[in-house]
Structure 1
Amino acid sequence: MNILITSAGRRVSLLQAFQKELKKFVQDGKVYAADANPIQSAACQIADDHFEVPRLDEESYIDYILQECIQRNIKLIIPTIDHELLLLAENKQAFKEKGITVLVSSTDLVQKCRNKKETHKFFESNNISIAKEFKKDDYKLPLFIKPIDGSRSIDTFIIRTKEDLTPYHFENEKLLFLEYLDHDTHDEYTCDLYYDKNHRLRCVVPRKRIEVRDGEVNKGLTCNNSMVTFLRENLAVMDGAVGCITAQCFMNRETQKIYGIELNARFGGGYPLSYLAGANFPKWILEEYFFQKEMEDQFDCWEDNLLMLRYDSEVLVHGFKD
């Protein structure tokens, strides 16, 4: 009963959580890590073992991972980055035929998550407000600009004056002009949602984003507030969703109105806070997919007002030659 974390990069905390939980069930179980450059991946160095894989845009990517999983008796794959989700979702059946579960949501849901316009439609269809989208010839300042298929806060802009706008903003067809939800009046949350095999919501952990670095939370706080009830009521069932889904939301401090911003069909970079608070997604995944245990509601299992302060640490690789 071995596990694979793909595109492992620097996801050390997530990998260690799976190592810890797997050992409770299977003493000789291993958590592998895969990366295009494993020697420079901290998570690969911490994993029980690791291997190099082709880049995502290479045709051999799926076949290579499939063969590695067969050889290493890997039965469960945990993807971690946006760009691999659709590829793995489209090939879930090939892995299933070999007794391997890829913990990724349906192709349809992944596509909705990857296209921000589709994400907005999804939120609205579930009674969740969204930031207004403007036409590029008819907008209201201030603006927030982001790509339709963006990730990690790349190519995002806060526009306060017309002088902040450049030809690039108008010419790049991927960039969306959106209503700016000011952090002076709104709190920003990333909510870790756990969906069971039947696509039912079993846990919600809102994490207030206090400080962000490179699109990933650096300081965060668990908050058991009205966000939990709101998402529990409006996203109780999400077609195609399995495992960890992250929903990025804003809440107006005065009115408590909640806006849906983004949806990601994967573990978020700040999930370790939810895990340490008691929302044990790795354990539930193992119970569901290795031991066929039926999942129950876990809405009250985690610690409220738990503050996470992240810092850089070191992983040393001896004898490395560049």
Structure 2
Amino acid sequence: MLITSAGRRAGLVECFRASAARMDVALEVHACDLYPELSAACALADARFAAPRCTDADYIPRLLDYVRDNGIGLVVPTIDTELQPLAAARTDFASQGTYVHVSSEEAIDIVRDKKRTMDVLAKAGVPVPRTATLEQFRQDHEGWAWPLFIKPVAGSASRGIALLQDLSELKGAYSEPMLVQEALGGDEYTINLFVGEDGVMHAAIPHLRMSVRAGEVEKGRTVRRADFEIIARDLATALPGARGVLCFQLFDDPRLGPRIIEINARFGGGYPLADRAGGHFAENVLRTAIGLPLVACDDWQDGLTMLRYDNAVFV
């Protein structure tokens, strides 16, 4: 298998290795990054190589050559910006016998645009906060309750997010398209879910985001919530062609109730907690790539706490 943009995803490498061990399958993990010599996950992989930026024209051809030359059966992307090119090239990889773990182009187009995400979910009856593009808000900001959140339409890792207390804090211009949302309170959760190739959601595992660093959960605890599972199932249905592992964040606002704020159509940074709790989504991704039946992944441990800390890989 190949993990792309591997970066610090050492935990994901170990999740796949543990999954292969349970399956009694020999797994060779390849990893790539812009600078693989500076990537912890690449250092822990069995093989590694330098890949172009996913925005480069040579990105997909380089990966296609690599998977062909190295007999790669599974490609797992880890960052949002590579999902669109990989979804568009999914059939090209399949013609070489490689399964790419990515949802449909339509689903990726939706989740990469946070305004469109909110519109699609709202239309499907999935709870979301009131949302408008910055241009729409500037034209009509009456009736909004301050404070408000502003964030990039295509942002990630908490980049560019700000809390505005009143209209005076709104900048005259921003370097990228922005959207405005009603501010939510209460506890924040991530829900990891697995959707089969048949479009059916097999499990959803929420965890409380007790502490977050650079947009990624640092301390978390699994929480079994029937209402979150219903929301996850409705979300999976609302996204055309959603497949494999996805995750989304929501706030359980004490006034409004649960409200989804964003979706990542990939393995999230906090996935190892769901995996350790017994939701073996990575194993089912391997099984899908190999052509084996899926295993049940909804019998997971409630109340399992993950306390991350910094570690080092020495090369």
TM value normalised by structure 2: 0.92
Q: Distance in 1 between matches of 2:276 and 2:296?
A: 18
For the pair 1:266 / 2:266, whether they are aligned, the reply is yes
For the pair 1:144 / 2:149, whether they are aligned, the reply is yes
Structure 2's unaligned 5+ residue stretches are none
1:97 aligned residue:
95
Query: Residue 198 of structure 2: SS of its match in structure 1?
Result: coil
For the pair 1:305 / 2:310, whether they are aligned, the reply is no
What is the CA-CA distance between 1:254 and the residue it aligns to? 6.0
Label 1:149 to 1:244 Cα distance change in 2 as closer, same or farther (>3 A).
same
**Residues 99-148 of structure 1: CA deviation (Å, up to 9, x unaligned):** 11111000000000000111012211221122112512443320100111
User: Is contact 1:202–1:296 with CA below 8 Å preserved after alignment?
Assistant: no
Q: Distance in 1 between matches of 2:288 and 2:55?
A: 31
What is the CA-CA distance between 1:162 and the residue it aligns to? 3.9
Q: Distance in 2 between matches of 1:27 and 1:315?
A: 26
> Residues 78-227 of structure 1 correspond to what in structure 2 (within 5 A)?
78-134=76-132, 135-139=137-141, 140=144, 141-168=146-173, 171-172=174-175, 174-182=177-185, 186-227=186-227
What is the CA-CA distance between 1:247 and the residue it aligns to? 1.5
What is the CA-CA distance between 1:252 and the residue it aligns to? 2.4
Mean Cα deviation higher: 25-34 or 117-126:
25-34
User: Is contact 1:201–1:235 with CA below 8 Å preserved after alignment?
Assistant: no
Q: Distance in 1 between matches of 2:306 and 2:114?
A: 29
Q: Distance in 1 between matches of 2:232 and 2:128?
A: 18
Label 1:297 to 1:28 Cα distance change in 2 as closer, same or farther (>3 A).
closer
What is the CA-CA distance between 1:97 and the residue it aligns to? 0.6
Label 1:126 to 1:21 Cα distance change in 2 as closer, same or farther (>3 A).
same
Matched residue type, 1:203: A
Label 1:228 to 1:298 Cα distance change in 2 as closer, same or farther (>3 A).
farther
For the pair 1:242 / 2:240, whether they are aligned, the reply is no
Matched residue type, 2:138: K
Q: Distance in 2 between matches of 1:213 and 1:198?
A: 35
User: Is contact 1:45–1:315 with CA below 8 Å preserved after alignment?
Assistant: yes
TM value normalised by structure 1: 0.90
Mean Cα deviation higher: 22-31 or 122-131:
22-31
What is the CA-CA distance between 1:43 and the residue it aligns to? 0.2
User: Is contact 1:142–1:161 with CA below 8 Å preserved after alignment?
Assistant: yes
Matched residue type, 1:52: A
Query: Residue 286 of structure 1: SS of its match in structure 2?
Result: helix
**Residues 213-235 of structure 1: CA deviation (Å, up to 9, x unaligned):** 11111111111013334225524
User: Is contact 1:202–1:298 with CA below 8 Å preserved after alignment?
Assistant: yes
What is the CA-CA distance between 1:236 and the residue it aligns to? 5.5
Label 1:291 to 1:124 Cα distance change in 2 as closer, same or farther (>3 A).
same
Label 1:38 to 1:173 Cα distance change in 2 as closer, same or farther (>3 A).
closer
Label 1:118 to 1:160 Cα distance change in 2 as closer, same or farther (>3 A).
same
Structure 1's unaligned 5+ residue stretches are 318-322
Root-mean-square deviation (CA, aligned residues, Å) is: 1.8
What is the CA-CA distance between 1:23 and the residue it aligns to? 3.4
What is the CA-CA distance between 1:212 and the residue it aligns to? 0.9
User: Is contact 1:217–1:270 with CA below 8 Å preserved after alignment?
Assistant: yes
Q: Count the aligned residue pairs.
A: 307
For the pair 1:5 / 2:18, whether they are aligned, the reply is no
